Amino acid sequence: MSDTRRNEAITVGGVTVRPGRRSRIQLPFAKVATGSDDTLPVAVINGRSSGPHVWLSAAIHGDELNGVEIVRRVMRHLDPKNLRGAVIAVPIVNPLGFMIESRYLPDRRDLNRAFPGSSRGSTASRLAHLFMEQIVAQSSVGIDLHTASNHRINIPQIRADIDDAATLKLARAFRAPFTIHAKARDGSLRQAARELGATVLVYEAGQAHRFDSAAIETGTAGVLRTLTSLGMLDGRLPRAKPTRLIRHTRWVRARRGGLAEINVKLGQHVEEGEHIAAISDAFGSRPTQVKATETGWIIAQTQRPLVNSGDAIAHIARETGPDKDEPAERRR
């Protein structure tokens, strides 16, 4: 039976949001070159009844836009009068990078390597510290939304520690096509939040600089399923196939430079030794075939036809058992 106890007020950046209300808040984090304040945009939807506190974050890398639209769509479904618990939404965690569509801050720092940050450090460090202090410290669950980087595209997938029972339960509720086991990287939001006791999912889908409708729809439905599984929302959601748990992945890399023709699609199942691409010179002569090094599913691939020796071509989620394989690549 749902908990119908009266919720409590939440204070973010000195603004108190009472139960059954929503509020938009601007948190100053830096003085920019013009001398004005740059701010972190936050929306607090505080439910009338008590329940978990969940944060939603996107655009930690300023060129990763799908998550921004996912947060916007999720917020349209949230009514504080019917919500149990609270959602703290931060659609643009890296406003400076977002304005110039850059993965990084203007000083070329990666914000997702700056957590938990410091109030006296670089701009990245100060922004990370503010996010931890005002958002993460008030939340028990976080969903951090990303896309692929470096001219790559990802099939919708969750990155999480599936050895943790609470995390696995949320990943199963989200129901992305794939859930990839990955330990958190030092300096990442996921690592810093885990150290504070939060359960965190990282959603990866689509490519940078673009809105991908399928990735956005899958992510929006996944977030709403997760909130429903936590008892925060009522109602039924569209059905989705159970997520496929993957412990090990490997990138197939180019053995020569040239122009690549990719012959596989995201989600396609390939057999070891199957031709997945061909690389040739500017005249198209004497193409070199690129073969799958594993049997499994294509979960990411390059979007660039120009490749150099060693460049990543396609990312395969492997079917083979964990006792025979190396750990999955980690990025977030």
What pLDDT score does 140 carry? Answer: 97
**The pair of three-digit structure tokens given for residue 123, joined into one six-digit string:** 């701009």
pLDDT digits (tens, 9 = 90+) for 135-189: 999 999 999 999 999 899 999 999 999 999 999 999 999 999 999 999 889 999 9
- Helix (H, G, I), strand (E, B), or coil: what is residue 149? coil
pLDDT digits (tens, 9 = 90+) for 252-290: 999 999 999 999 999 999 999 999 999 999 999 889 999
pLDDT digits (tens, 9 = 90+) for 7-60: 999 999 999 999 999 999 999 998 887 888 899 999 999 999 999 999 999 999
- In order, the DSSP letters of 200-214 are EEEEEEE-TTS--HH
Choice between 237 and 192, residue whose per-residue pLDDT is larger: 192
* Full set of structural domains in the chain with CATH: 10-244 (3.40.630.10), 248-318 (2.40.50.100)
Instruction: Please state the pTM of the whole predicted model.
Output: 0.92
Q: How far apart are CA 58 and CA 293, in angstroms?
A: 33
